[in-house]
Amino acid sequence: MHHILADYSTSITDLKRNPNALLAEAQGMPIAILNHNKPVAYLVPAYAYEAIIDMLEDKELIEIIMARENEMDEAIEVNLDDL
């Protein structure tokens, strides 16, 4: 069984027929695109996609910060006025 991770779903055929109507009906929520009743894609608004990308980039930066925090004993102390 496939879990559909969206409150709205539609077939690829219906998406082709009238994508604007589907987007309006979903009111900014993700839409699961189904093929033979199985999810094959999710259609998300641009703002949601951009937010997801921002969160992934933040997660990557946090991992870099945490890795570098463990290397503090190797750090060289620098005075900003000397730069």
* All domains of the chain in start order, with CATH: 8-72 (3.40.1620)
Task: Please tell me what DSSP assigns to residue 74.
Answer: G
Say how far apart CA 47 and CA 8 lie, in whole Å. Answer: 18
Closest by alpha carbon to 30, among 39, 60, 74?
39
**pLDDT at residue 83, as a whole number:** 81
**pLDDT at residue 82, as a whole number:** 84
**pLDDT at residue 31, as a whole number:** 98
Say how far apart CA 7 and CA 68 lie, in whole Å. Answer: 41
**pLDDT at residue 41, as a whole number:** 97
Q: Are residues 28 and 20 in contact, defined by beta-carbon separation less than 8 angstroms?
A: no
pLDDT in tens, the chain (83 residues): 689 999 999 999 999 999 999 999 999 999 999 999 999 999 999 999 999 999 999 999 999 999 888 888 888 889 999 88
